[in-house]
Chains A and B, each alone.
Chain A
């Protein structure tokens, strides 16, 4: 009882610094959980997307547009792909981004420019067009007769079995890929933040349409991946000729080399994310630790007085631990409330709070915060109580 009483007295007496320390720790815990959530989410989505791309490439040819800003080595190859995907997310608000992946295949092999492909563009800029199309209005691209068929409007937002065909604006298209359900266009909201960011990459355009579209979107070339190793030279030849005709740069590589690049870049991006994660996490841990240690060590004089008035080492240490316990409980409750609010409002993904998190994560995070408080309190507390009373009372004259 006495220990809690001492701790409570101390909290009441130092309520301002206690409050500041709690806020600091809450902020650090929240920041940590957001960082972890993003890292976990990134890792999961990356794996999912990587798997789906590999799966798609068993049947398809992929053409990835090259952007002018490809100089950064981090964004080379697969990383650049991820960058583009992230850009899609960012540009959901701006509506100024175009993203396309071109699939093409028929029984005779690869035929760039074939019309047996379909566009399912669903990034914001295209979605606006898609919306216009769905509403019966003409967008710039649609009205100029170059007709990139845009099927992102909710009218077409469904899964199209690979191999099926349908008619749109008088033209027949064969579906060579499918649009995930969760990538649907919602007229009032655009693409929801909660949707899988990677699904918005599932864009299918004809090569011709791509070529027509690329100057408009500032693209400077195409990146083509051939799935059929037996037909590589023929495909390369065709693509190069086509590119020469159209005046663009086209890079060609086989699916095997592309996939090995994917794996390598995936490992690199994971490593980079781990670096970022560990740095931010370290900053959070240092914030919590430093806050807690400082609030204890700065009370050296007070503890010296308590010591000289008869408190035992055990009393002082236990009261410090009890105080840290109060602090940790308040910090965890605050963190949980803020995180819940944030997750529900969709402001941030928060580890251990978002709907796809497991309960064990919450327990883990609580244990982590408690452990952090316990270790830092014990460290600073033991450091103090091991001193002679007279050393602690140096300031008292």
Chain B
């Protein structure tokens, strides 16, 4: 499903070059649950952003199915992201002024889904994630776990093929983190491809496959 071939990413800031990714060759099959592990600054988030069409490779090729992402124009790039990729962020990335319902509805509005269908799908995912009681609340008024469930609901409501999670449990306590990972596992069972970036080995164990990244270099580390 996803191939990164000889991918490099270099940041230039104040005449200092930093290689965030170096000669990365990476493959993710459809329906896989992959964890990318690495220390802070190792390049794992950069890789996730490139996988999620939030950033581009400096060199190399990124294939998503039959599509060569590297060759897409800016608008096509955004359109592709909207149609195929969803995100869950460490700090939830919820809009605090929007209610939980409105936050979940964002991807559906972006896809111009009809209102009745939007309401139906929001209620469906809310029920699935156990947040139907807080739909009319604002994010600051709910717990961290509920906020991450909301973020996950928003990520899956559009029914995109690839779900990218950047430290999804990073801002949660252990118990809530486990609950979130259980939810992700359930979603994966439904056929979604999930990539989780984490530095926590316990969280990574929920994945089918763990990939390690150090100083921008990727090491495969298949699970037993």
Task: Give the B-binding residues of A (Cβ under 8 A).
Answer: 2, 5-6, 9, 13-14, 302, 304-313, 315, 388-390, 393, 396-397
Q: How far is the CB of A16 from chain B (nearest CB, A)?
A: 9
Convert B67-96 into 0s and 1s, putting 1 for each residue whose CB lies closer than 8 angstroms to a CB of A: 000000011001101110011011101110
- Among candidates A14, A304, A310, A397, residue contacting B81 with C-beta atoms closer than 8 Å: A310
B:85-136 near A, CB below 8 Å: 86-87, 89-91, 93-95, 97-98, 102, 106-107, 109-112
Q: Once the chains are docked, how many angstroms separate the CA of A309 from the CA of B54?
A: 11
- Among candidates A5, A390, A397, residue contacting B109 with C-beta atoms closer than 8 Å: A5
B87 (CB) vs chain A CBs: closest residue: A308
Given known contacts A390-B49, A397-B90, is B75 in contact with A13 (CB within 8 Å)? Answer: no
Q: Is B154 in contact with chain A by the CB < 8 A criterion?
A: yes
- Among candidates A13, A315, A393, residue contacting B110 with C-beta atoms closer than 8 Å: A315
B111 (CB) vs chain A CBs: closest residue: A310
Q: Once the chains are docked, how many angstroms separate the CA of A389 from the CA of B87?
A: 12
A15 (CB) vs chain B CBs: closest residue: B97
Besides A310-B81, A313-B74, A397-B170, 17 more A-B contacts (Cβ < 8 Å) are A9-B98, A9-B102, A13-B102, A14-B97, A305-B93, A305-B95, A308-B52, A308-B87, A309-B86, A309-B106, A310-B106, A388-B54, A393-B89, A393-B93, A396-B89, A396-B90, A397-B91
Residues of B within 8 A of A397 (CB): 89-91, 93, 166-167, 170-171
Q: Once the chains are docked, how many angstroms separate the CA of A311 from the CA of B55?
A: 16
Residues of B within 8 A of A5 (CB): 109
9 nearest CB pairs, A to B:
A310-B82, A13-B97, A310-B110, A397-B91, A396-B93, A390-B54, A309-B106, A397-B90, A311-B110
Given known contacts A312-B75, A389-B54, A397-B89, is B98 in contact with A13 (CB within 8 Å)? Answer: yes
Task: Give the A-binding residues of B (Cβ under 8 A).
Answer: 49, 52, 54-55, 74-75, 78-79, 81-83, 86-87, 89-91, 93-95, 97-98, 102, 106-107, 109-112, 154, 158, 166-167, 170-171
- Is A312's CB under 8 angstroms from B154's CB? no
Residues of A within 8 A of B170 (CB): 397
Residues of A within 8 A of B81 (CB): 308, 310
- Is A2's CB under 8 angstroms from B112's CB? yes
- Is B78's CB under 8 angstroms from A313's CB? yes
- Is A305's CB under 8 angstroms from B91's CB? no
Q: How far is the CB of B104 from chain A (nearest CB, A)?
A: 10
B106 (CB) vs chain A CBs: closest residue: A309
Residues of A within 8 A of B166 (CB): 397
A305 (CB) vs chain B CBs: closest residue: B93
Provide 19 A-B residue pairs closer than 8 Å at the C-beta atoms, listed in order of the A residue.
A2-B109, A2-B112, A9-B102, A13-B98, A14-B97, A302-B95, A302-B97, A308-B52, A309-B82, A310-B107, A310-B110, A312-B82, A388-B54, A390-B49, A390-B54, A397-B89, A397-B90, A397-B93, A397-B171
A312 (CB) vs chain B CBs: closest residue: B78
- Is A309's CB under 8 angstroms from B110's CB? yes
Q: Of B78, B94, B111, which is in contact with the most chain A CB atoms at under 10 Å from its CB?
A: B78
Residues of A within 8 A of B171 (CB): 397
Given known contacts A305-B95, A312-B75, A313-B75, is B109 in contact with A6 (CB within 8 Å)? Answer: yes
Residues of A within 8 A of B90 (CB): 396-397
Q: How far is the CB of B159 from chain A (nearest CB, A)?
A: 12
Q: How far is the CB of B107 from chain A (nearest CB, A)?
A: 5
- Is A306's CB under 8 angstroms from B110's CB? yes
Q: Once the chains are docked, how many angstroms separate the CA of A315 from the CA of B79?
A: 12
- Among candidates A14, A310, A390, residue contacting B158 with C-beta atoms closer than 8 Å: A310
Q: How far is the CB of A383 from chain B (nearest CB, A)?
A: 16
- Is A390's CB under 8 angstroms from B154's CB? no
Q: How far is the CB of A296 from chain B (nearest CB, A)?
A: 14
Residues of B within 8 A of A309 (CB): 82, 86-87, 106-107, 110, 154
- Is B106's CB under 8 angstroms from A305's CB? yes
